[in-house]
């Protein structure tokens, strides 16, 4: 039922500063929004006189909210923003909202908040405002559900503004968008240990957590301790440390917890031994018979039990899901300088651009390189595994190629603070990942393959050339014995 008293005519919206046409709609008139993809769409309960605020996350629609307010005669703006843990999203808020707001209004008030959700925020501050403005959700179909949810906790006038759709191709027809919505989970979706152990009993599967380590004495103990806490809940059967010849106290610390500790070089020695994280993950299959295998990096400082039951929760509760990869907010500290930077630099500078160019079916993955992964053993045994840092992307590509995108998923595991490499270390990691990507995309052949990473230094008037060989060794599992094939 429309409350006509509040549906006073919207203030005359003068021509928007950007020249983008605006159309105003009530919430029960938005079936034809697809016809207005090139316009700013204002969906509203109607204009009310009195205090106004905008709750904005960032992005094109958030920017459009500012434009509509400015062109409706507002000279000051009050913005509420729930602080993002992912630094890239915070950057988007600053560039798409904070900066333009100061050019559009005489005064701008920005309240950074830490409410657990938009609905809690509206509950906490809504009573002070006659009107609340929001940027539209990505999909048009979400506008009315979002509106109804807000109206459960707010009785003022709600206005949702949608930017022109010209830049978005996130629509219901976009399979990646649908996959992101239906295959992206919160670890809290699976945080009830009773639920998981019950599912586990029903499925009768065994779960092993394998912890790859290389000189992680500072963090490995806490990772093992947390894994054992979850094991005590009856959700994990094996916790195993596979070490890569650490020279610090990593192995002693592992042994002090009474868990199985292996040097990957000593596992299946008849297969030889190679350096690399992928080698440790490849040889995991020889030290456990578990049906589900999960790996968690041992350099994670911020480990919590949710890393474990969040990660294999989807495999235990949805029979169609056979592969799960964690994702997380990633503030990272560069050990040498202690400088805080946004983590995932190889992801953002190499993996994500490559995926979007050549492997778009993977573009819904938030952290395609994350080392926190769970997979069914039988699916792992069908894969070929590079022994180097390319292991994560290689497993992801094969999980999707072998089982289909919808047999895979991603889980929000919270925040990961982990030690990280300097730029040279990241460059070498990138080279290894690029070698694997080039090979898996059939760009790299025996004839044109490059295994040497050269680095030329110019210092104090003379040139130095350093080079390092990175031979990609692929491992695969065969019925009788595994074989290493150097390419």
Ligand X SMILES: O=C(O)[C@@H](COP(=O)(O)O)O[C@H]1O[C@H](CO)[C@@H](O)[C@H](O)[C@H]1O
Ligand Y SMILES: O=c1ccn([C@@H]2O[C@H](COP(=O)(O)OP(=O)(O)O)[C@@H](O)[C@H]2O)c(=O)[nH]1
- Write out the residues near ligand Y by the rule CB under 6 A: 212-214, 216, 244, 275-277, 280, 297-299, 371, 418, 420-421
- Residue 420 as a binder of ligand X (CB under 6 A): the answer is yes
Residue 343 near which of ligand X, ligand Y, none (CB within 5-8 Å, type-dependent): ligand X
Total number of residues shown for the chain: 487
- Residue 183 as a binder of ligand X (CB under 6 A): the answer is no
Which is closer to ligand X, CB of 322 or CB of 330?
330
Tokens of 284: 């995991």
Question: Is the Cβ–Cβ distance between 326 and 72 less than 8 Å?
Answer: no
Say how far apart CA 241 and CA 223 lie, in whole Å.
10
What is the DSSP annotation of 393-451? HHHHHHHHHHH-GGGEEEEEEEE--BEE--HHHHHHHHHHHHHHHHHHTT---TTT---
Classified as helix, coil or strand, 323 is: strand
- Residue 437 as a binder of ligand X (CB under 6 A): the answer is no
Of 67, 238, 279, 392, which lies in the binding site for ligand X, with binding defined by CB under 6 A? 392
Say how far apart CA 310 and CA 316 lie, in whole Å.
10
Residue 176 near which of ligand X, ligand Y, none (CB within 5-8 Å, type-dependent): none
**Closest separation between CB of residue 367 and ligand X, Å?**
6
Which is closer to ligand X, CB of 61 or CB of 226?
226
Which is closer to ligand X, CB of 148 or CB of 468?
468
Which is closer to ligand X, CB of 267 or CB of 391?
391
Q: Please list every residue from 285 through 314 that binds ligand X, using CB under 6 A.
A: 297
Nearest to 400 by CA among 409, 413, 390, 387: 409
- Give the chain's radius of gyration (CA, Å): 26
Which is closer to ligand Y, CB of 100 or CB of 343?
343
Say how far apart CA 26 and CA 43 lie, in whole Å.
5
Nearest to 274 by CA among 285, 263, 265: 265
Of 343, 364, 403, 414, which lies in the binding site for ligand X, with binding defined by CB under 6 A? 343
**Closest separation between CB of residue 389 and ligand Y, Å?**
7
- Residue 347 as a binder of ligand X (CB under 6 A): the answer is yes
Of 42, 70, 315, 332, which lies in the binding site for ligand X, with binding defined by CB under 6 A? 332
Question: Is the Cβ–Cβ distance between 181 and 211 less than 8 Å?
Answer: no
**Closest separation between CB of residue 421 and ligand X, Å?**
6
Which is closer to ligand Y, CB of 410 or CB of 430?
430
- Residue 373 as a binder of ligand X (CB under 6 A): the answer is no
Piece of 264-272, 343-351, 437-445, 479-487 that binds ligand X (CB under 6 A):
343-351
**Closest separation between CB of residue 89 and ligand Y, Å?**
21
Which is closer to ligand Y, CB of 166 or CB of 423?
423
Question: Is the Cβ–Cβ distance between 60 and 72 less than 8 Å?
Answer: no
Say how far apart CA 159 and CA 27 lie, in whole Å.
9
Residue 368 near which of ligand X, ligand Y, none (CB within 5-8 Å, type-dependent): none
Say how far apart CA 322 and CA 147 lie, in whole Å.
35
Strands of the 384-386 sheet, one edge to the other: 384-386, 473-476, 483-486
Question: Is the Cβ–Cβ distance between 428 and 470 less than 8 Å?
Answer: yes
Which is closer to ligand Y, CB of 275 or CB of 484?
275
Nearest to 224 by CA among 252, 197, 200: 252
Piece of 18-26, 162-170, 341-349, 374-382 that binds ligand X (CB under 6 A):
341-349
Of 97, 369, 380, 395, which lies in the binding site for ligand X, with binding defined by CB under 6 A? 369
- Residue 411 as a binder of ligand X (CB under 6 A): the answer is no
Classified as helix, coil or strand, 55 is: strand
Say how far apart CA 150 and CA 248 lie, in whole Å.
54
Question: Is the Cβ–Cβ distance between 25 and 139 less than 8 Å?
Answer: no
**Closest separation between CB of residue 216 and ligand Y, Å?**
5
- Residue 429 as a binder of ligand X (CB under 6 A): the answer is yes
Which is closer to ligand X, CB of 164 or CB of 343?
343
Which is closer to ligand Y, CB of 216 or CB of 379?
216
Which is closer to ligand Y, CB of 244 or CB of 408?
244
Question: Is the Cβ–Cβ distance between 137 and 180 less than 8 Å?
Answer: no
**Closest separation between CB of residue 364 and ligand Y, Å?**
21
Residue 344 near which of ligand Y, ligand X, none (CB within 5-8 Å, type-dependent): ligand X
Say how far apart CA 148 and CA 268 lie, in whole Å.
59
- Residue 85 as a binder of ligand X (CB under 6 A): the answer is no
> Residue 141 gets which letter from DSSP?
G
Piece of 36-44, 107-115, 260-268, 342-350 that binds ligand X (CB under 6 A):
342-350
- Residue 330 as a binder of ligand X (CB under 6 A): the answer is yes
**Closest separation between CB of residue 335 and ligand Y, Å?**
10
Question: Is the Cβ–Cβ distance between 41 and 136 less than 8 Å?
Answer: yes
> Which spans of this chain sit near ligand X (rule: CB under 6 A)?
277, 297, 330, 332, 343-347, 369-371, 389, 392, 420-421, 429
């Amino acid at each position: 039922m429309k409350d006509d008293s509040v549906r006073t005519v919207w203030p005359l919206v003068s021509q928007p500063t950007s020249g983008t046409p605006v159309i105003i709609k009530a919430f029960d008139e938005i079936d034809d929004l697809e016809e207005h993809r090139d316009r700013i769409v204002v969906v509203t309960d109607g204009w009310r006189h009195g205090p106004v605020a905008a709750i904005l996350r960032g992005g094109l629609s958030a920017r459009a909210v500012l434009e509509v307010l400015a062109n409706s005669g507002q000279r000051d703006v009050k913005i509420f923003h729930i602080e993002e843990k992912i630094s890239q999203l915070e950057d988007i808020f600053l560039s798409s909202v904070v900066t333009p707001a100061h050019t559009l209004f005489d005064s701008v008030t920005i309240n950074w908040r830490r409410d657990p959700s938009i609905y809690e925020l509206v509950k906490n501050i809504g009573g002070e405002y006659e009107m609340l403005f929001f940027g539209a959700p990505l999909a048009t179909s979400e506008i009315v559900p979002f509106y109804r949810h807000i109206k459960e906790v707010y009785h003022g006038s709600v206005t949702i503004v949608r930017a022109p759709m010209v830049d978005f191709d996130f629509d219901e027809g976009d399979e990646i968008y649908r996959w992101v919505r239906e295959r992206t989970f919160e670890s809290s979706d699976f945080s009830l240990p009773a639920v998981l152990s019950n599912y586990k009993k029903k499925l009768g599967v065994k779960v092993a957590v394998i912890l790859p380590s290389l000189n992680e004495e500072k963090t490995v103990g806490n990772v093992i301790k947390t894994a054992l806490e979850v094991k005590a809940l009856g959700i994990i059967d094996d916790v195993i440390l596979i070490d890569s010849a650490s020279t610090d106290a990593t192995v002693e610390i592992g042994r002090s917890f009474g868990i199985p500790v292996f040097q990957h070089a000593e596992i299946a020695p008849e297969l030889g031994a190679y350096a690399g994280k992928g080698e440790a993950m490849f040889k995991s299959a020889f030290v456990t018979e578990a049906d589900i295998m999960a790996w968690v990096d041992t350099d994670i400082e911020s480990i919590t039990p949710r890393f474990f039951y969040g990660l294999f929760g989807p495999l235990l509760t949805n029979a169609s899901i056979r592969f799960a990869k964690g994702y997380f907010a990633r503030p990272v500290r560069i050990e040498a300088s202690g400088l805080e930077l946004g983590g995932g630099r190889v992801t953002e500078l190499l993996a994500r651009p490559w995926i979007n160019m050549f492997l778009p079916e993977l573009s819904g993955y938030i952290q395609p390189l994350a080392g926190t992964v769970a997979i069914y053993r039988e699916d792992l045994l069908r894969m070929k595994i590079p022994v180097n840092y390319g292991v994560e992307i290689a497993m992801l590509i094969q999980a999707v190629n072998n089982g289909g995108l919808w047999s895979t998923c991603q889980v929000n595991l919270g925040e990961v603070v982990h030690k990280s490499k300097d730029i040279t270390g990241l460059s070498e990691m990138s080279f290894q990942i690029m070698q694997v990507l080039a090979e898996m995309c059939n760009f790299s052949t025996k004839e044109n393959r490059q295994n040497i990473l050269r680095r030329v230094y110019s210092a104090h008037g003379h040139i130095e050339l350093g080079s390092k060989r990175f031979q990609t060794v692929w491992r695969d599992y065969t019925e009788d014995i595994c074989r290493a094939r150097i390419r």
